[in-house]
Amino acid sequence: MDILPLLRERFSVRDFSDRPVKKEDLDKILEAGRIAPTAKNEQGQRILVLQSKEALETIREITPSAYNAPVVLVICADEDVTWKRHRDSWCAAPIDTSIVCCHMMLEAQSLGLGSVWVCAFDPEKVKVAFNLPENVVPYSLLPLGYQAQDCQPNPRHFERFDIDHFVKYY
């Protein structure tokens, strides 16, 4: 199975239609996040599914980067559970939540749904608004839904360095 075509067709969707996301599709996207690898398989990911009118209004008050998506996933980590390196107590939460987000983003794409990875928000405001405990930290948002009819990738999406720019063989 070659996933490069899926990876190449995916782009950040910032304009969504009002068509609702099917529950079975949302369940598949969440399953992709559930089975994503995490450091030492500690599975500290915690995901908020924002889809009620009230929850969507709340997240849109916190950040304009929730756009008009009918669903916004908030990818969090329980930092009491997430693996920490013994040498210096570095926490794997940023990496774990990034992997989880990427898995869900690609599953959404495979189902014909668009998404955009968002880090432009205030995690403390999200914690307060959704009554998260101190140990649960929001790392990213994943607005998702069907893209609007005239939605196009940002022109910069197609600007890619040659592989030699960032790969070195030894």
CATH topology of domain 16-147: NADH Oxidase (3.40.109)
| pLDDT of the residue at 170 | 97
* Tens-place pLDDT, residues 131-169: 999 999 999 999 999 999 999 999 899 899 999 999 999
Single-letter code of the amino acid located at 126: V
| Tokens 């099917």 belong to residue | 22
- Regions in the chain scoring below 70 on pLDDT: none
Share of the chain above pLDDT 90, in %: 98
Question: Whole-prediction pTM value?
Answer: 0.96
Give the count of alpha carbons within 13 A of 123, CB side only. 13
| Paired residues of 133 in beta bridges | none
Residue-range domain boundaries for the chain:
16-147
Please report the DSSP string for 117-148 in residue order. -B--S-HHHHHHHTT--TTEEEEEEEEEEPBP
